[in-house]
Amino acid sequence: MQPSPASPPRGSSIRRFLRLAMPYWSGERRWQAGAATLLLVLLTLGQVALAVWISYWNRALFDALEARAMRAVLVQGGLFVLIFVLTIAVTALHLHVKRWLQLDWRRWLSRRLLDTWLTEHRLYQLGFAAGDHDNPDARIAEDIRIATESAIGLAHSLLFSLLILGSFTDILLQVSGSLSLPGTGIVVPGYLVWLAVLYAGIGTVLGTLLGRPLVKATNRLQTFEANLRYGLAREREHAESIALLRGEAVERHRAEALFDDVGRGWNRQTLSYLGIVSFSTAYGTLLPVFPILIAAPQYIAGVMTLGVLMQAAQAFQRLTSALSWPIDNLGELARCRASTDRILSLYEDLQALELEQRTPSHSRIEVHSDSERKLVLRALRLADPSGRVLAEDIDFVVRCGERVLIEGDPSVALCLFRAVAGMWPWGQGEIALPAGQEIVFLPQRPYFPDGSLKAALSYPHDEAGFSPAAMRHVLECVGAAWLAPRLDERDSWDHVLPLRARQRLAIARVLLQGPSWVFLEEATNALDPEAERLLIELLLRELPDATVLLISFRSDMSRHFTRSLRLQRVRNERARDLSPHASAEA
């Protein structure tokens, strides 16, 4: 499935991310988010106020030491205790509010993507869509965490730096005095401020140049890390099949290859870090010494006291650090940008998929409801995601209460199963579903969520809607009475039960829920022919009024059904082939 040409223009990453994430502050969570944001700003102002207070306290302390005034030193010691307690309190409260806001924003943004991903079969169809959206689970679980935590952390540090910049520029202007350039007669007022700007400017330019490759290297590494997580999770998911096929060596080599990619990405990031870390170390080592050396002549000349000298040095460091915010946060900016791009790519591809689903098109199968409560396949053409036609001219009607056997080409039958379920839009024609009646689809490999066996039997409904007695009865009917004592037991049923037991359990789930329509895709083929026959007979007997469609390729199944649909694959498989072929026989 190609992205719709009507997809919205993408623009810059920042604007796109703001369109995605900022409704958190204007939607239903706006009061909580606004209150937390306001409190965070106020606490940041408190942090800056304490930093300014420390600056003046530092000046007073060194002046007292220079004057050898013991009483004044003791007074400053008492003030320091007060500053110390307030600093701890403000910092702790600030951390709590910031982390609450990060988690709440992450929860909101995760729900927004989950609501778009886990609806209208997009979870399945996204795997066939064009675009950069690999590992959507990792993007939702990990990249949203990184983006929200980093964005709020960076916003706070930027606000703090701007406030520090304003506060300590004023302090430095007051204490640095003026500098006369020898032999020129030129006087530079507040020269330490200009030196701080020059120092930070040179550092920012050089740091930006040295750190430019870091964004690309970080993005690449995060992609490799996500691929490794996905590969290992897939091996865990299919552990039994891998072990039975003796495929451990192949999987080990595959995992090693994925880790080799991570190693290459890590080394590239390391090289990108080397230059900027070396520069940052030199830059930071020089910073405490530089302002003292520059202002020392004024102190020696008696123009400023020791306290003023130390306050000037501290103000210079604070001001330079504030001006150096871009270079200090370059790594975090790169990390945030990489995760933001991965989130945006997934969300925008999901939007394109949603737009394509909602836009009427003759190149997609249309699924709607039929008021006469019957299943209608009309002029149906099935294709694969590339546009290659698999089968066409399928016209068939299934009425309430009928029993229909679907035979023929397995791949075409599977596509039809998915198309009726609304999962397979590729092709043309229409499918009308019985209005007001839900069709239960039973795949060959049924899914059971982790949890109690009651929840597995009730899925996707609430287990409270079914009695334990009814559950035990259906388990006994399908030959799985040995599971009845485990109804309250919690386990990973998809892993602890073999396929044949899971298929029996899936039939039990259908009997328990008693739907009016059942569509089975080789849902009992893991059983031996006799057991399969008995299970199908049980299903038809226990649900006498249900409409049952069964995809099966065993010849002895036809006697249980009143009608059959034989599907044939077209011979000429050209991409987007529109030539007529008779491909369905009723």
Closest CA to 193 of 101, 318, 37: 318
Contact 262, 230 (CB under 8 A): no
What's the chain's Rg over C-alpha atoms?
34
pLDDT at residue 581 in the model: 36
Strand, helix or coil for residue 528: coil
- Show the tokens assigned to 357: 């689903």
pLDDT at residue 2 in the model: 41
212, exposed or middle or buried, with CB in 10 Å at 0-12, 13-18, 19+?
A: middle
Name the DSSP class of 110.
Answer: H
pTM metric for this prediction: 0.69
Interhelix angle 330-358/213-237, nearest 10 degrees:
60
Contact 375, 433 (CB under 8 A): yes
Residues in the chain, total? 586
Tokens 């892993």 belong to which residue?
495
pLDDT at residue 8 in the model: 42
- Per-residue pLDDT of the chain (586 residues), as tens digits, is 444 433 444 556 777 777 778 888 888 888 999 999 999 999 999 999 998 898 888 888 888 888 888 888 898 888 989 999 999 999 999 999 999 999 999 999 999 888 888 887 777 777 777 777 777 888 888 888 988 999 899 999 999 989 988 888 888 777 776 665 555 656 566 667 777 778 777 777 777 777 667 767 877 887 888 888 888 888 877 776 788 777 888 888 888 999 998 998 898 888 877 777 777 777 777 777 777 777 776 777 677 777 777 777 777 778 888 887 877 787 788 788 888 888 888 888 888 777 777 766 667 888 888 777 889 999 999 998 888 899 989 999 999 989 999 998 999 999 999 999 888 888 899 999 988 888 899 999 898 888 899 999 999 888 899 999 999 999 999 999 999 999 999 998 888 898 999 999 999 999 999 999 999 999 888 888 888 889 999 999 999 999 999 998 877 777 888 899 999 888 754 444 433 333 444 4
DSSP 26-42: TSTTHHHHHHHHHHHHH
How many angstroms separate the Cα of 238 from the Cα of each of 19, 241, 392? 39, 6, 35
The C-alpha angle with vertex 157 and arms to 155 and 162, in degrees rounded to 5, equals 95
pLDDT at residue 76 in the model: 86
Q: Which residues pair with 434 in a beta bridge?
A: 370
Strand, helix or coil for residue 449: coil
pLDDT at residue 469 in the model: 93
CA distance 412 to 146: 43
CA distance 318 to 162: 11
pLDDT at residue 301 in the model: 67
- Show the tokens assigned to 124: 């399945």
* Secondary-structure breakdown of the chain: helix, strand, coil percentages, each rounded to the nearest 5: 65, 10, 25
CA distance 228 to 234: 10
Strand, helix or coil for residue 376: strand
The C-alpha angle with vertex 113 and arms to 109 and 115, in degrees rounded to 5, equals 110
Domain range 366-567, its CATH number among 1.10.290.10, 3.40.190.10, 3.90.228.20, 3.40.50.300: 3.40.50.300
pLDDT at residue 577 in the model: 42
pLDDT at residue 269 in the model: 84
pLDDT at residue 185 in the model: 59
Domain boundaries, given as residue ranges, for the chain: 13-217+276-357, 366-567
Contact 445, 499 (CB under 8 A): yes
pLDDT at residue 104 in the model: 93
Name the DSSP class of 212.
Answer: T
13-217+276-357: CATH topology is ABC transporter transmembrane region fold (1.20.1560)
Closest CA to 325 of 198, 148, 157: 157
Q: Which residues contact 463 (CB under 8 A, 6 or more apart)?
A: 452, 454, 455, 457
